[in-house]
Amino acid sequence: MPIKLTDGEFWRGFFGLGTTSGETVTIETSLQLDAVWACVNLIRNAFIMLPCLVYKADGVTVDTESELYSLLHDMPNMDDTASDFWAMVAFCLCLDGNFFAEKKMIGTRLVALNPLPPLKVDVCRDKRNTRYYEVTEDGKKRRIPEDKMFHVRGAVLPGCDRGMSPIGVVRNAVGNALAGERVAGKMFANGFQVAGVLSSDQILKPEQRKQLGDVLGQFAGSDRSGKIAVLEAGLKYQQLTIDPKDAQMLETRQYSVEQICRIFGVPPVMIGHAANGTTTWGSGIEQLILQFTKTCLGPMVRSIESAVYRDLLTSETRKKFKIRFGLEGILRGDSQARAEFLSKMVGSGIYTIDEARAYENKAPIDGGNRSIVNGTMTPLDMLGKDTNNQNGSGGNV
């Protein structure tokens, strides 16, 4: 049967398939690579810091009283907090390219979002080309209609219902990294002793061969590294495999880390990988975070917001609410950057003092609901007015 680019099962089939290196790439095997785990965990941890906010139709006022707010901002279900849930979304998108959550309803009201393992969900079409989801649980399959599923997709081709798996699409690069780790592990296990042959101008008897093999076997393994084997009867050792230094094993493994970082759009230094022993922490980290936010987090956040708009809002609620993630949450760990951001927003009249204080969990103050002008700290509605006369002090300025 020919495989088409529009065949979603083909792209999903990348999981568990072989690679040019002979390694089998799955979610479990790829996570054994520290670089894959570091990249995925970095993105996951970033989403923990991003609150999902529900705004009223004006797109400015956060509607904390709506049921949708408690669902998306606090607890999507009885088992997961909002930070757990959205971190799970990011985790699944990084590895499988899809996230599924079943919508639980009471009448027309959405009351819970229950996440499903992505590898147990098939996206199907019936004879009328209506999309539905087939979930495998305990060996049994059940069908979930499209309107009861929250589905976030990563990269997708026209005509495909599933997003493509980043791990699956570039499985050869991941497989090469796995092969490098496996070879390095075997070298460590053997005490960096490489394979070779013993040559002699004499004919050895079977019992002599066995005895020689038993003797040399005593020197195998990392705990016996450095011991010396004495060869008798004119035996000579000849190395067969390539030396680790000649194979540039260290350079190959370092390059694999950079390849994996490119897959996820993560600057290598942000997972502790410093090329040539150098680092930009403390100097260029602000630009790295900006790059990470724009090229990695931003597109993923937008995909999730679009899926929320399509699957969780109805034609009526779309007129009442707007769903956005607060990217300012990333600044919470950097007091200097947060202070500079809030100062500029208040000084330019974009935020009021009370709105800025709300970011710091501070109570409103008298007159804090009015915009001010940078430098003069004068409310906008007081510009051009004689504040001294209004205060009863007299005189013109």
Do 371 and 347 fall within a single domain? yes
Do 154 and 230 fall within a single domain? no
Pair 94, 106: CB distance under 8 Å: no
With a cut of 50, which residues of the chain have pLDDT below it? 1-15, 192, 219, 221-222, 224-226, 228, 240, 246, 392-397
Residue 223 belongs to some domain of the structure: yes
Which 3 state secondary structure label does DSSP give 232?
A: coil
Residue 37 belongs to some domain of the structure: yes
Taking the C-alpha atoms of residue 129 and residue 289, their distance in angstroms, rounded to an integer, is 43
Nearest 10 degrees: Cα torsion 157, 159, 165, 168: -90
Residue 395 belongs to some domain of the structure: no
Do 174 and 107 fall within a single domain? yes
Residue 394 belongs to some domain of the structure: no
Residue 393 belongs to some domain of the structure: no
Residue 28 belongs to some domain of the structure: yes
- The pLDDT assigned to 310 comes to 94
Nearest 10 degrees: Cα torsion 312, 318, 321, 324: 60
Question: What is the per-residue pLDDT across 209-233, written as a single tens digit (0 to 9) for each?
Answer: 666 666 565 545 445 444 545 555 5
Do 4 and 125 fall within a single domain? yes
Question: What is the per-residue pLDDT across 111-156, written as a single tens digit (0 to 9) for each?
Answer: 999 999 999 999 999 999 999 999 998 889 999 999 999 999 999 9
Do 151 and 182 fall within a single domain? yes
Do 137 and 85 fall within a single domain? yes
Do 55 and 168 fall within a single domain? yes
Do 326 and 373 fall within a single domain? no
Do 381 and 259 fall within a single domain? no
Do 172 and 321 fall within a single domain? yes
Taking the C-alpha atoms of residue 188 and residue 244, their distance in angstroms, rounded to an integer, is 11
For 327, the token pair is 């990217």
Last residue of some domain: 332, 359, 376?
A: 332
- The pLDDT assigned to 120 comes to 92
Q: Which of 69, 60, 50, 150 is nearest to 317 (CA)?
A: 69
SS3 content of the chain, % helix, strand, coil (to 5): 45, 15, 40
Do 19 and 89 fall within a single domain? yes
- The pLDDT assigned to 244 comes to 54
Pair 229, 219: CB distance under 8 Å: yes
Residue 392 belongs to some domain of the structure: no
Helices (H) and strands (E) in the chain — how many of each? 14, 12
Q: How many domains does the chain have?
A: 3
Do 37 and 72 fall within a single domain? yes
H/E/C letters for each residue in 251-275?
Answer: HHHHHHHHHHHHHHCCCHHHHCCCH
Last residue of some domain: 181, 210, 240?
A: 240
Residue 397 belongs to some domain of the structure: no
- The pLDDT assigned to 373 comes to 65
Domain that holds residue 122: 1-192+241-332
Last residue of some domain: 317, 332, 347?
A: 332
